[in-house]
Structure 1
Amino acid sequence: MKTFKKILVAGAWLLSLPALANSPYLVTTDWLEKNLNDPKIKVIEVSVVPGVYERGHIPGAVNFEWHTDLVDPVRRDIATQQDLEKKLRAAGVNQDSTIILYGDNNNWFAAWGAWVFDVYNVKNVKLLDGGRKKWEAEGRSLSPLAAAPGAGNVKVSAANNALRARLPDVVAVADKKSNAALVDIRSADEYSGKVFAPAGVQELAVRAGHVPGAVNVPWGQAVAADGTFKPVEELRKLYAGVGIDGKRPVITYCRIGERSSHTWFALKKLLGYEVRNYDGSWTEYGNTVGVPVNNPAGTVWGGR
């Protein structure tokens, strides 16, 4: 159960509600369980661990593999308009459907899916607050049976690339030619340059550190112990503490764009700020010749 706190605003004590209170972008595990049989509810799992969907998933959920279904399998880019529409229709999504996304790893890739859907103006998209972690922790039912929905009729709009940040946008901030705020959501060790990437990952950059001017708010600071988003008031205070208060546009980045999608969701959908996700992130920036880099730790790539 969520805990509620009191905050003092203009001399009056107000309840600090969970992030999902009055939010059109989050649903609770309890709500989803009660609405699984609603034909207008389409549940999509986007997990990163191989086989997790096949071992058991929320009943009726279809599986989107982020590295083939939500991205272009050849170019480094998000899925095309045509491919995404085809995939959504195969998942039974209609024009009037409500899409519930969830996944493992605290919804990192589910949030990536929400960002991709946002770029293509897919309507009525929500995250399951807490994702698989919370659903499983509460002992709710899982099914190994693959969903077989009928064909949907959803139409996907052309990509709105104004919702994406590109390398020149980020370099402009580093060169102090843009007033956008940069939020690096990686770990403190990645941000400082002590490590190039989390242990065991395949996608690397040959330079460590961060984009000059970026502030560091690791994505995990936005969630509670059960993986749900912290109350909106706490989120607002968290980001305001490093100068992110909604008064100027924001760009989020991480290593490949998935963790930063989680923070993009918090800042844009829950706080209502103007936010773009830089999906090139550090594997693009840290491999680009000639761009400015801050590396407080001084770690040097050894080519091994």
Structure 2
Amino acid sequence: MTLRKLFVAGALAILSTGPTWASNYLVNTDWVEKNLDNPKVRIVEVSVNPGVFERGHIPGAVNLNWHTDLVDTVNRDIASREQLQALLRKAGVSKDTTTILYGDSNNWFAAWGAWVFDVYQIDNVKLLDGGRKKWEDEKRPLATVAKTYKAGDVTLAEADKSLRAFLPDVVAAAKKEADVALIDIRGPDEYSGKLFAAPGFQELAIRAGHVPGAVNVPWGQAVAEDGTFKSREELKKLYAAKGVDGSRPIITYCRIGERSSHTWFALSKILGYDVRNYDGSWTEYGNSVGVPITNLAGTVWGNQ
């Protein structure tokens, strides 16, 4: 285990009960509002729905588009080091900046951003607990004009591939050739194979079901009614009930890797477990030739 991983494992999120808490990896809405004018803080929105940022965003926030800024638009991959570094420098992020990520869709894509930032070993990155919805529900201020900043000097490291799971890693786990806990965070009907994808999602796989040996812990079980993460004790109990207690490495997956980033955050940052996110997820695995699947519903090909 690298020194960096030892630090991450030891730096667990400790949330105070006060109104303006900030932890190693999470901040709440009070903290963000009190730090809107802090020059050492940069707020970054990562939403997936078109026009959300333009209609109103946290004052001072900059916008990163998941579809074009955090992924490679040609290869199915995360954004390159050079691409992301240029975007963050343009956003005014420097080596001593604390970066706060938030977004729509329950912070799924903001959590993806946190994962990609971690892959490139960017320090001082936190997630706004509850995301955009909680900020709006509390009727906190919104701005419609994007702010520009003096260029920052952040320098990204080379990608830490140990935070990513790839298809061969998942196949090895499915065949019990690797001692890894697999967590499928999709809904029960996706997990069983009854649905090829949740309603409204277009990314599909030819086959339905789940990776053999994976347990099903839908991402939503990790959050409270207001979208904030449950307590560390509640999360630990939730995953332990499915046999995941941090005693062995974990791989999370969903459909395209965004929901599983949310669970990666809970397991990695709040619980301190050794976790890799499989961003290929079911749309890669379910479309791959010759890999084993478990299909409880019996739908195997073409939704038949």
Q: State TM-score, norm by structure 2.
A: 0.92
CA positional deviation for 1:272: 0.2
| Unaligned residue ranges in structure 1 (runs of 5+) | 1-14
Partners of 2:295 and 2:133 in 1: CA distance? 34
Is the CA contact 1:16–1:233 (under 8 Å) kept in the aligned structure 2? no
- Provide the residue aligned with 2:184 in structure 1: 184
- Provide the residue aligned with 1:77 in structure 2: 77
- Provide the residue aligned with 1:88 in structure 2: 88
CA positional deviation for 1:301: 2.9
- Tell which deviates more after alignment, 22-31 or 36-45: 22-31
- Provide the residue aligned with 1:276 in structure 2: 276
- Provide the residue aligned with 1:43 in structure 2: 43
Is the CA contact 1:41–1:97 (under 8 Å) kept in the aligned structure 2? yes
Partners of 1:242 and 1:72 in 2: CA distance? 34
Matches within 5 A, 1:1-304: 23-302=23-302
Instruction: Label 1:138 to 1:211 Cα distance change in 2 as closer, same or farther (>3 A).
Output: same
Partners of 1:21 and 1:215 in 2: CA distance? 33
Partners of 1:21 and 1:283 in 2: CA distance? 38
CA positional deviation for 1:17: 6.6
CA positional deviation for 1:200: 2.0
Partners of 1:172 and 1:69 in 2: CA distance? 31
Partners of 2:135 and 2:200 in 1: CA distance? 27
Report the secondary structure of 1:101's partner residue: strand
Is the CA contact 1:17–1:231 (under 8 Å) kept in the aligned structure 2? no
Large movers: runs of 4+ above 4 Å: 15-18
Spell out, residue by residue over 1:235-283, the C-alpha distance to the aligned partner (whole angstroms, 9 max, x if none): 0000000011010000000000000000000000000000000000000
Report the secondary structure of 1:126's partner residue: strand
- Provide the residue aligned with 1:6 in structure 2: none
Partners of 1:162 and 1:33 in 2: CA distance? 35
Instruction: Label 1:236 to 1:206 Cα distance change in 2 as closer, same or farther (>3 A).
Output: same
Is the CA contact 1:17–1:232 (under 8 Å) kept in the aligned structure 2? no
Instruction: Label 1:287 to 1:27 Cα distance change in 2 as closer, same or farther (>3 A).
Output: same
Is the CA contact 1:194–1:297 (under 8 Å) kept in the aligned structure 2? yes
How many aligned positions are there? Answer: 289
- Tell which deviates more after alignment, 194-203 or 45-54: 194-203
Partners of 1:29 and 1:230 in 2: CA distance? 16
Instruction: Label 1:247 to 1:16 Cα distance change in 2 as closer, same or farther (>3 A).
Output: farther
- Code of the residue aligned with 1:90 in structure 2: it is K
Report the secondary structure of 1:67's partner residue: helix
Q: State TM-score, norm by structure 1.
A: 0.92
Is the CA contact 2:22–2:31 (under 8 Å) kept in the aligned structure 1? no
Partners of 1:208 and 1:78 in 2: CA distance? 25
CA positional deviation for 1:302: 2.6
- Code of the residue aligned with 1:115 in structure 2: it is W
Is the CA contact 2:211–2:292 (under 8 Å) kept in the aligned structure 1? yes
Partners of 1:16 and 1:247 in 2: CA distance? 27
Partners of 2:47 and 2:300 in 1: CA distance? 33
Is the CA contact 1:23–1:270 (under 8 Å) kept in the aligned structure 2? no
Is the CA contact 1:182–1:214 (under 8 Å) kept in the aligned structure 2? yes
Report the secondary structure of 1:264's partner residue: helix
| Unaligned residue ranges in structure 2 (runs of 5+) | 1-14
CA positional deviation for 1:163: 1.1
Partners of 1:128 and 1:22 in 2: CA distance? 10
* Identity score, percent: 70
CA positional deviation for 1:22: 7.2
